[in-house]
Amino acid sequence: MKKLMIAIMVIAALLAGGLIIAAFAGTNNDNIPETSTPVSETVTPTDSVSSNSDSLNILTENTNFQKHGFVVKVLTDAVKVDKRTAIEKANESVGEQINTKAESITAVLAKFTDTETPVLPKSNIMLKDYPVWIVTYHDVTLQKEGKPGGTVYADQNVVIDANSGDVLETFAYSIK
């Protein structure tokens, strides 16, 4: 009887170990779920998805970003859109030419204030401490406005509403 109990305990331990290994094998390195969180679900900054927001310092230490009258602060409120969904929405907005050519892409979850255009045109949205994802396509070549054939090396930014997933605004600034 004692040998049977030991055998059962060994089998149970092996099964538990196999389940733990399977659980780790099913995750990716970024700890981001393979599917995006539907907009109807709430994601808080303490959840693994939102905690993968890139550092706010990417924006606060960028003098080009600051020169355009933007203010960002830490967002501690719950949001409905995860990082992956925000990047997908931004990719749709900028198109393949930018999202595939960027040296890197970052997504920062933040409270966003636009001091130069505080109310979005054609809406009542007030961009003051507004919960957003700011998706930045770093080091892309963009067409200069008004100059056929002229290009500029820039960072392209897309501001995504962190609750609806809507694109609120897009802006770029030269980095050289």
* Rama region for 149: left / alpha / beta (φ>0; ψ in -120 to 50; rest): left
- Cα torsion through 155, 83, 59, 115, rounded to 10: 90
Mean pLDDT estimate for the chain: 76
Provide the 3-class DSSP secondary structure of residue 31: coil
Confidence of residue 153 (pLDDT cuts 50, 70, 90): confident
According to DSSP, the β-strands at 167-174 and 151-161 are: antiparallel
CB count in 10 Å sphere of residue 94: 21
Lowest-pLDDT range of 32-46, 49-63, 82-96: 32-46
Which of 5 and 67 is assigned the larger pLDDT?
67
H-helix segments, 68-151: 83-94, 96-99
- pLDDT at position 164 is 97
- Report the number of secondary-structure helices (H) and strands (E) in the chain: 6, 5
Which residue matches tokens 């030991």? 6
Burial class (CB in 10 A: 0-12, 13-18, 19+), 113: middle
- pLDDT at position 33 is 35
Confidence of residue 148 (pLDDT cuts 50, 70, 90): low
Confidence of residue 40 (pLDDT cuts 50, 70, 90): very low
Which tokens sit at 35?
A: 């599917």
- pLDDT at position 97 is 82
